[in-house]
Every structure is written in C-alpha cells, then in structure tokens.
Amino acid sequence: MNRSFQNLFNKAKMTLNHAFSHAKETLYSITGTSSASVQQIADFVRSHPDVKFVKRDYLGMTLSFYELVQGEMRYYLETNHSKILHLDVHSHNHTVVAYRSYRDQLSIDTPVKFPDMQNAK
C-alpha cells in the first residue's frame, strides 16, 4: 500500500510541476520575465483577441467577465470598470494564480512568483 501511495504522490507531483512550468513559460512569453503581476495578467487577458467577453449590470453595478483559453492555460477575470475583482489562472487543471480583491492583501502590481516544484518534497 505504501508503494502505491508513493507512486500516486510522485505522479501528482510531476503533474503539478508540469502545470507550474507551463504557466511560467506562458507568463514569460507575455511579460518577458518569469513572473507577472495580477495587473499584467489582467491586461493580457483583456486585450487578447480570442477573449470571450460579457458585460452585465447587477444592482446598478456594471461587471465585466473575461474568459480566455490558450492551449492548456485557462484565464478567468472579473472586473468592475477598471478594478480587478477576481482573477484565476489554471494550467493542466491546477490553480496557478487565484486573486480575489475582497480577500487578498497582495497589491495587483506585486509580481506573482511561482514555486520551483523541482525541489518540493
């Protein structure tokens, strides 16, 4: 049983490592660096020609919803005018970035660094 758990753990670790590596490569192609801020990712999503965009009014507030799929990367963005409310980036069904304006103390201009999963135990 221990061996099968170890095999499962190693496979999960390899999949997660692949997801983070793919995300790093994609962000490097967007920004020219191995990290990007929430604002840079949101600007990329908003301006991409393949983005799916919906604008809705809720209780007098105008919210914009953006969805973008680029290969194995999926982006989801919600904004209220120019304010970023929600940003998710997924790669290989793993969450790479999850930003919520109501929860996160992170500035939208702070670079998001990705862990080096090669050294993770």
Q: What are the pLDDT digits (tens) for 60-88?
A: 999 999 999 988 889 999 999 889 999 99
Is the confidence at residue 3, as pLDDT, over 60? yes
**Whole-number pLDDT of residue 93:** 79
Predicted structure pTM score: 0.67
Q: Look at residue 30 in the predicted model and tell me its pLDDT.
A: 55
pLDDT at 49 exceeding the cut of 90: yes
In the chain, domain spans? 2-112
Q: List the Cα angle 78/89/46 in 5-degree steps.
A: 45
Q: Read off the tokens for 29.
A: 């192609």
Of residues 11 and 100, more confidence is placed in: 100
Instruction: Look at residue 109 in the predicted model and tell me its pLDDT.
Output: 73
Task: Tell whether the model's pLDDT for residue 107 goes beyond 50.
Answer: yes
Higher pLDDT, 31 or 36: 36
Q: 84: which strand partners?
A: 79
Q: CA-CA distances (angstroms) from residue 94 to 16, 48, 55, 80, 82?
A: 7, 22, 27, 26, 27
